[in-house]
Copies of this chain bind each other. A is one copy, B any other.
Amino acid sequence: MSKRLVAANAWISSDSRYAAEALSYAGFDSVTVDLQHGMFGIDTAVSLLQAISAGPAVPMVRCSRLDGAEIGKLLDAGAYGIICPSIDDAEQCRDFVGACRYPPVGTRSFGPSRGLLYGGPDYVDHANDSVLTWAMIESRSALDNLDEIAAVEGLDGIYIGPNDLAMSLGERPGGAMPESVREAIRRAVQVARARGIFVGAFCGGEDAAADMVDCGMDLVTPGNDISFLRDAANRRLSVIRRLTTLVSDASGY
């Protein structure tokens, strides 16, 4: 059985240009700047996109909300793809996709800024084709409207947010994946396949990412940068603590 093509996506929630550039060079296919839960705003996000551009990964953004002005600015700032949270029905999905496309297809305002740098002088001619649009499926309503959402003209992919989805389905977020969420994910993969669009998911770590690859995802996000740090810190601390005694206060060493 042959391997499938799956994109590995990094996720930035910290305010570090250097870390963003390092992740762009680390081997990921794309790096996503998270404006929704990331610890920064637009000012920092622009410089994170520049930092990602300095490396080989594709720069993407999860916007903070369905807001045409914000989405337009992030595209001008160099995002090649937008992951939009909480797309709960087809109308929201159409608004989202429209915000990513120039007229007559959509409503994006002209002012391509960094687009003219990374995309070249003909950026405006091809931007409608090259910018990827991902709708986040993360509520019971979104599941109810999944077929209509996936059918929206111009949508490139759906992206599962398992934690918000779990809470919306009455489950606890952050732990092992509840069966109701897993079932929803299976259906999302089927719908995406049927529509010929991509399907991706945020995953808690490497094991969850492997699980999601098995489920048929085209793009997986194996945790965010801070979870990377925490995981690496834990490994190092457990090795050191196995050999030593905890130093409990500053005066102790």
Contacts and interface: CB of A to CB of B under 8 A. Distances in A.
Given A26-B230, A43-B40, A229-B22, A244 B5 contact: yes
B253 A5 contact: yes
A210 interface: yes
Interface stretch (A89-97, A146-154, A186-194, A212-220): A212-220
Interface size class of A (residues with CB under 8 A): 35 or more
Contact of A6 (B8, B27, B51, B247): B247
Given A6-B245, A14-B18, A26-B230, A69 B80 contact: no
Contacts of A23: 229, 233
A37 B76 contact: yes
A222 B223 CA distance: 22
A87 to B, nearest CB: 13
Interface in A187-215: 198, 205-207, 209-210, 213-214
B14 A234 contact: no
B54 A253 contact: no
Nearest to A235: B206
A85 interface: yes
A210 B239 contact: yes
A145 interface: no
A245 B2 CA distance: 9
Nearest to A233: B26
A40 to B, nearest CB: 6
14 contacts: A14-B22, A15-B17, A18-B226, A21-B50, A21-B114, A34-B111, A37-B76, A40-B42, A41-B46, A50-B50, A113-B226, A207-B239, A213-B240, A225-B229
